[in-house]
Every structure is written in C-alpha cells, then in structure tokens.
C-alpha cells in the first residue's frame, strides 16, 4: 500500500515539475476580450478554436457592452465586445467591427392566430399600451407579456431595437431568466408573447413576422427583417495587437463557428 502511494507521489511530483517547466518557457499570445454578455458565449467558442489552432489564448470576460467599449479605450481589453451599434463619442477613439448579426424572434403560442407584428405594436405591448390580443385582430384575450431579466443580452437587444427602456416595460410582465424558460412558458400559455434569440427558435412555438417579413438568415442579412442587432468588436484606433484574432474570426473556420452558435456571420467590407 505504502509502495503504491510512494509511486503515485513520485508521479505527481514529476508531473508538477513538467507543468512548471512548460509554463516558464511559454511565450504564447494572450488577448483579453471583454464586454457584452450576449457576445461572451460566442467569443468563448471562438477562443477555444483560436487556442486549438495554436494562435494563442483568449481571456473572455463579461460586464456589458459599455464595459467593453470603455475597456477597449483605456486598454483593459485588447478588444471590447458591444452588442449594439457604437455611439458617436465612442467612435472617436474606437473602430467598430461587426462580426455577426443576432436576430431576435418574437414568439407566441401555436394556438395564437396572430402571425405578424410591427415594431410599434411590439413596443405598445411591452409598454402596456396594448393589453388585449383583439387590438391586433386576435382573440379577445388579455396578453401575457413575457420578458427576460435585467442584464440579459437578449433583453438589452430587444429593448434597443424595439425602442423602450426598462422603466417603460409593463410591470406585470413575467420575467424569465433563460431562453428555455421563455419558450416553455409561451408554449404552455395560449395568450403569451415572448422574445428569444433566432438561434434558439424551436418548433414548440410560432415565430411572428415583423412588419410582414418572416425571420430567416437571408432576411436578417439583407436587413429586411428589422428585429436584429450587430455584434461589434471595438478596437482602439491604431491598435493592431489583436489583428490575429480578427483575421481568425473572419476566416472560414470563424464564420462556421458563428453560424453554429445560431448567429449570422458578416463579411469584411
């Protein structure tokens, strides 16, 4: 028994030594990327691919789009992530690079006869001006509004595209903390409306057309489908230390990863 323990200990020690040796001689590129929590999962997948290909290591952090842009300005991050269009004052110091487009889908119960909604009506529903499906030509039933929690990237994207603030949202809206929960609640409640990321759309629920346009990769790409937002990378002007990562994202392998996560990859202009 003691013998086995001894051998195991020796093995462990030599392993530790090897591990230490590996660390000191390493000179791999490490990039810190931070910001939007909506882009974070995608960036983590890209980071894994980047590492497997041997380009270097990506350290991905959250914090929100504004943390991403300010981090890219002050040098905390090599690259900031922003799941919105960059603001004018940010564009003074930053270059914005759109890497993907995130489509958001409004979903209703399969029994619901409403097939189409405008962004104005969506806003009216979420701000409580419209509370009955009959206002949109549907059944005379109260609308059960379902939203996501504060801090969710999808909520942030939905509010910014539809055009309302958290304070304006109807207070009795049900708040669910995951796409799965929104989908399942909508599929269980015939008067419910919710919104989820296009990549997570399932056939348990029906997706509403927005302004007569049904959601599809093509419609999001040519911007005829309005309910979408860009995933931007923010890089300080004149800084090219992170170019390897940007090149990787726009490579065929990068585009494939983006598509696999349910987003639509963009092409460099």
Partner 1 sequence: MNALTHKKRIDSGFKKVVFSCTTITLISLFSIIFFILIQAMPLFKEVNIVSFIFGTAWYPLAESPQFGIAGFIVCSLLTTIMAVIIGIPIGLYTAIYIAEIASKKISNFVLFVIEILAAIPSVIYGFFGIKLIAPIIANVFELSIGTTLFTASIILSFMVLPTVVSLSTSALKAVPNSVVEGSLALGATKIQTIFKTKISYAKSGILASFLLGIGRALGETMAVVLVIGNSIAFPNLTNLFATYFSGGRTLTTNIVTELAYSSGTHRAALFATGVVLFVFVSVLNLVIMQVKKKGVK
Contact residues for partner 1, defined by CB under 8 A: 37, 62-64, 67, 141-144, 146, 149-153, 165-167, 171-177, 181, 184-185, 188-189, 191-192
Place of tokens 């300005």: 73
**Closer by beta carbon to partner 1, 165 or else 203:** 165
Q: How far is the CB of 199 from partner 1 (least distance, A)?
A: 18
Q: Which helix (H) or strand (E) holds 52?
A: helix 40-52
Alpha-carbon distance values, 37 to 33, 126, 197, 220, 231 (Å): 11, 23, 13, 21, 11
Q: How far is the CB of 149 from partner 1 (least distance, A)?
A: 5
H helices of 170-229, where?
179-188, 217-221
Q: How far is the CB of 181 from partner 1 (least distance, A)?
A: 7
**Closer by beta carbon to partner 1, 14 or else 166:** 166
Q: How far is the CB of 210 from partner 1 (least distance, A)?
A: 23
**Closer by beta carbon to partner 1, 63 or else 96:** 63
- Indicate the Cα dihedral angle 241, 244, 246, 252, nearest 10°: 180
**Closer by beta carbon to partner 1, 225 or else 231:** 231
Angle in degrees, CA 13, 17, 20, rounded to 5: 135
């Amino acid at each position: 028994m003691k013998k086995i323990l001894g051998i195991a200990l020796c093995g462990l020690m030599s392993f530790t030594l090897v591990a230490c040796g590996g660390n000191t001689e390493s000179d791999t590129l490490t990039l810190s990327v931070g910001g939007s929590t909506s882009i974070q999962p995608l960036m983590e997948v890209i980071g894994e691919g980047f590492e497997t290909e041997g380009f270097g290591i990506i350290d991905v952090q959250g914090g929100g789009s504004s943390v991403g842009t300010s981090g890219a300005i002050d040098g905390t991050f090599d690259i900031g992530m922003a799941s919105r269009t960059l603001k004018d004052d940010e564009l003074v110091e930053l270059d914005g690079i759109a890497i993907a487009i995130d489509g958001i889908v409004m979903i209703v119960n399969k029994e619901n006869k409403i097939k189409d909604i405008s962004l104005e009506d969506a806003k009216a529903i979420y701000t409580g001006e419209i509370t009955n499906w009959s206002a949109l030509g549907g059944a005379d039933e109260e609308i059960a509004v379902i939203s996501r929690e504060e801090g969710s990237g999808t909520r942030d994207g939905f509010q910014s595209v539809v055009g309302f603030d958290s304070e304006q949202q109807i207070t009795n809206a049900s708040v669910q903390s995951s796409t799965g929960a929104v989908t399942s609640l909508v599929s269980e409640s015939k008067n419910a409306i919710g919104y989820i990321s296009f990549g997570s759309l399932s056939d348990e629920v029906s997706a509403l057309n927005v302004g007569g346009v049904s959601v599809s990769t093509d419609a999001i790409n040519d911007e005829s489908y309005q309910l979408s937002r860009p995933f931007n990378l923010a890089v300080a002007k004149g800084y090219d230390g992170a170019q390897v990562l940007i090149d990787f994202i726009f490579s065929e392998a990068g585009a494939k990863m983006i598509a696999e996560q349910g987003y639509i990859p963009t092409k460099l202009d």
